[in-house]
Amino acid sequence: MRADLHVHTNASDGQYSPSEVVVLARGFDLIAITDHDTIDGIAPARAAARAQGSPLIVAGIELSTAEDAGDIHMLGYFIDPDDLIFQATLREFQQARLDRGRLMVERLAASGVLIEWARVAAIAGDGAVGRPHIARALIEAGYVESVREAFERYIGNDAPAYVARKRLTPEGAIDLIHSAGGVAVLAHPGLVERWRTILSGLIVAGLDGVEVFHPSNDVPTRLDLRAWALRHDLIMTGGSDFHGEKVKPGNALGSMAPPEGAVYALQTRAQRYQAKEKTQQEDT
């Protein structure tokens, strides 16, 4: 099976629209649309895939969470996009993203770096505004030459225009994903400080899986993660974290494949949560 379980569109901070991503994924059996804090790319991707005849689109998400160790991202797979509580929670985060983006533009202006909010919004299109959109506006205005430079000089976590935003805890993200019938997987642990300590706590909180194969996980990290997964019955996944060459040039679509059996394991685990949720609804 040719699959990629970590794909972004311009519904969040990807370069391409959902339909364009589907065209790029021609020849794939399956991709998961895992935009940051939004499910808006799923329906158009599925419509484009139906028209094209492939690939199968898994409803996913990448939730931004935070704790003392820093940013932690949680992937959700086989979620129900129509879950009303899930939708309401995401709308709150989308508004927080807009508020944060505007404040970052204001902070840039206060330091003499002038970009228009309208331009940032236009770059984002119909998607949720994220820091990569601000970075691209900075490139257009001539302040930097690359997204990486924009983060390092202006909008990275330790940069002068950085603004923290409202986030779930990792444990809250696991609960939210489960409530929408989905499976919770820790994203790119190689980017997480003290990931072993974090992973240990998340297993207790009900974590379902871990992204073993990711461009940011070196070989020793992958081997270590595999050992953790086998020891704690975690589903091993993998994906490219595709955003498009202008956003993440080294993360080509399909460059990191999930292990054999990963999709089936995710789907089977999700069915368990979906059955539990259905039983709870019938009891109320």
pLDDT of residue 93: 83
pLDDT of residue 283: 57
How far CA 230 is from CA of 23, 238, 281, in Å, comes to 36, 15, 33
- What is the C-alpha separation between 171 and 71, in angstroms, rounded? 13
Binned at pLDDT 50, 70 and 90, residue 69 comes out as low
pLDDT of residue 124: 84
pLDDT of 281 > 70? The answer is: no
Q: Which two tokens stand for residue 187?
A: 């994203």
Q: Report the 10 Å Cβ neighbour count for 196.
A: 11
- What is the C-alpha separation between 9 and 172, in angstroms, rounded? 24
pLDDT of 47 > 60? The answer is: yes
- In 3-state terms, what secondary structure has residue 238? strand
How far CA 105 is from CA of 129, 135, 163, 250, in Å, comes to 12, 11, 10, 28
pLDDT of 252 > 80? The answer is: yes
Predicted confidence (pLDDT) per residue in 172-208, tens digit? 999 999 999 999 999 999 999 889 999 999 999 999 9
The position carrying tokens 């998340």 is: 202
Residues in a beta bridge with 65: 72, 168
Q: Which domains does the chain have, with CATH numbers?
A: 3-83+169-283 (3.20.20.140), 91-155 (1.10.150.650)
Residues in a beta bridge with 3: 30
What is the value of pTM for the model shown? 0.82
57 Cα distance to chain centroid: 15
Q: Which residue has the higher pLDDT, 229 or 93?
A: 229
pLDDT of residue 71: 84
pLDDT of 68 > 80? The answer is: no
Largest CA distance in the chain: 59
Instruction: Please say whether the beta carbons of 154 and 144 come within 8 A.
Output: yes
Contacts of 92 (CB under 8 A, 6+ apart): 166
The residue length of the chain stands at: 284
Predicted confidence (pLDDT) per residue in 113-140, tens digit? 999 999 999 988 766 788 989 999 999 9
